[in-house]
């Protein structure tokens, strides 16, 4: 039996960079947001405090080594590093991945997700969607070629995750390309030239596009959230749970005037909030995406969205549903994505915290071990039956 590949998004914004110093103040990292978390309602658990790893700096390679050890110990098969490339050779937050590449002691397999969008001040709680800090550009074929040259040492690394000799590469906003076909054609041609069989392209938006193009091999089940973030229209009825979440996300990200009137965070019970996720499989490229917790109030204050009462046992049920769904549908790509390993500013993490310690990770491993052990027991029983019938 082929078991799902369990991958977790990995945020590299835990070290100072000159740009963040300029925009937000000297020494800014994601921890700056985390530390200023404040309880906004009775029972609201803020600030969230990290556990074993503390307020780490990813420029300390020992932190990445320990993260890799934890991932391996608790069944996480790999990290999906968020990658920020803005065109014309401009990278941000690239140093943790570069350090990982030259540090063989960091054992965790990995791949990249190109977060191909402009950085806006709205992500840190400001109301204007037009306040662009750094703009995403797509200069053309020559720039894509140079980008591929940068990526090639990563692709060639034994730790880089490949399917059928194709390096996995995620695109966050496929529709953002002025010419997506040019990007795909360029990367596939260069991958073949480098000795691969092409690129295993996974997208995190545009379900219709994913269905129409054979060169897209997987689609992450975040499409609804993408539409919430980037569409001015509404998908769900305002009287439903999904409708209220949708409108809050749109408000949070600056797409309606209601954000300026928001007086309190939108709070949902975690168990009820995730109950309807990943119920249906829309197509055979589907990759479920699940999250252990969510509270972005350290970033967005009163305009935040909080899934309250998340705990390791409720996370275990949410994760198990997705894991089992992939296990029982072998036509799917065979991947489960966890959002995220360490997005602490959004209260969205698997790493040890000060209240539950390793329990988020332990719950994850319990699910994985449950199905692997069941398979082992089934094989043993089958073998005994075969022997007894001889």
Q: What's the confidence (pLDDT) of residue 227?
A: 41
- Average confidence (pLDDT) over 276-294: 85
- Please provide the DSSP assignment of 164-232 as one string: TTEEEEEES-GGG-SSHHHHHHHHHHHHHHTTSS--EEEESS-HHHHHH-TTEEEEES-HHHHHHHH-S
Predicted confidence band at 232 (pLDDT cuts at 50, 70, 90)?
Answer: very low
CA distance 155 to 150: 10
**Residues 63-122: pLDDT tens digits?**
999 999 999 999 999 999 999 999 999 999 999 999 999 999 999 999 999 999 999 875
| Res 350 pLDDT > 50 | yes
CA–centroid distance for 208 within its chain = 21
Q: What's the confidence (pLDDT) of residue 274?
A: 82
Q: What's the confidence (pLDDT) of residue 146?
A: 98
Indicate the pTM of the whole model: 0.88
Nearest CA-CA partner of 93 in 375, 355, 343: 343
DSSP-derived pairing of the beta strands 162-163 and 200-203: unpaired
Spatial CB neighbours of 366, under 8 Å, sequence gap ≥ 6? 316
Nearest CA-CA partner of 340 in 298, 290, 299, 273: 290
| Res 241 pLDDT > 80 | no
The answer to whether 82 and 10 are in contact (CB under 8 A) is yes
**Residues 120-172: pLDDT tens digits?**
875 554 444 458 999 999 999 999 999 999 999 999 999 999 999 999 999 99
The answer to whether 8 and 337 are in contact (CB under 8 A) is yes
Q: What's the confidence (pLDDT) of residue 254?
A: 45
Tokens of 25: 């103040």
**Residues 211-230: pLDDT tens digits?**
778 889 998 976 444 443 33
CATH class of 5-388: alpha beta
**Residues 356-371: pLDDT tens digits?**
999 999 999 999 999 9
């Amino acid at each position: 039996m082929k078991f799902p590949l369990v991958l977790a998004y990995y945020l590299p914004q835990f070290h100072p960079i000159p740009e963040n110093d300029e925009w937000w103040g000297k020494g800014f990292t994601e921890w700056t947001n985390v530390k200023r978390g404040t309880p906004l309602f009775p029972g609201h658990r803020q600030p969230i405090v990290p556990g074993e790893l503390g307020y780490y700096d990813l420029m300390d390679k020992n932190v990445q080594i320990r993260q890799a050890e934890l991932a391996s110990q608790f069944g996480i098969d790999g990290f999906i590093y968020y990658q920020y490339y803005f065109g014309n050779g401009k990278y941000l937050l690239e140093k943790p991945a570069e350090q990982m590449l030259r540090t063989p002691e960091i054992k965790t397999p990995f791949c990249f997700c190109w977060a191909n969008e402009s950085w806006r001040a709205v992500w840190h709680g400001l109301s204007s969607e037009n306040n662009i800090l750094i703009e995403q550009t797509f200069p053309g074929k020559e720039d894509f070629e140079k980008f591929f040259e940068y990526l090639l040492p990563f692709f060639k690394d034994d730790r880089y995750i490949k399917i059928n000799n194709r390096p996995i590469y995620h695109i966050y906003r496929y529709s953002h390309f002025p010419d997506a076909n040019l990007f795909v054609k360029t990367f596939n041609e260069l991958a073949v030239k480098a000795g691969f069989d092409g690129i295993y392209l996974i997208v995190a938006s545009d379900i219709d596009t994913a269905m129409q193009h054979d060169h897209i091999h997987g689609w992450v089940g975040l499409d609804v959230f993408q539409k919430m973030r980037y569409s001015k229209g509404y998908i769900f009825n305002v009287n439903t749970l999904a409708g209220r979440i949708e409108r809050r996300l749109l408000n949070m990200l600056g797409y309606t005037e209601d954000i300026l009137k928001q007086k309190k965070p939108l709070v949902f019970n975690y168990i009820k909030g995730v109950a309807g996720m990943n119920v249906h499989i829309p197509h055979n490229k589907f990759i479920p995406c699940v999250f252990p917790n969510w509270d972005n109030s350290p970033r967005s204050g009163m305009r935040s969205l909080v899934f309250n009462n998340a705990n390791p046992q409720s996370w275990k049920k949410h994760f198990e549903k997705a894991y089992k769904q992939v296990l029982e549908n072998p036509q799917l790509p065979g991947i489960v994505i966890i959002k995220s390993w360490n997005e602490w500013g959004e209260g969205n993490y698997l790493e040890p915290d000060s209240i539950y310690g390793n329990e988020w990770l332990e719950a994850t491993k319990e699910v994985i071990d449950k199905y692997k052990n069941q398979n082992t027991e089934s094989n043993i029983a089958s073998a005994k039956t075969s022997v007894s019938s001889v």
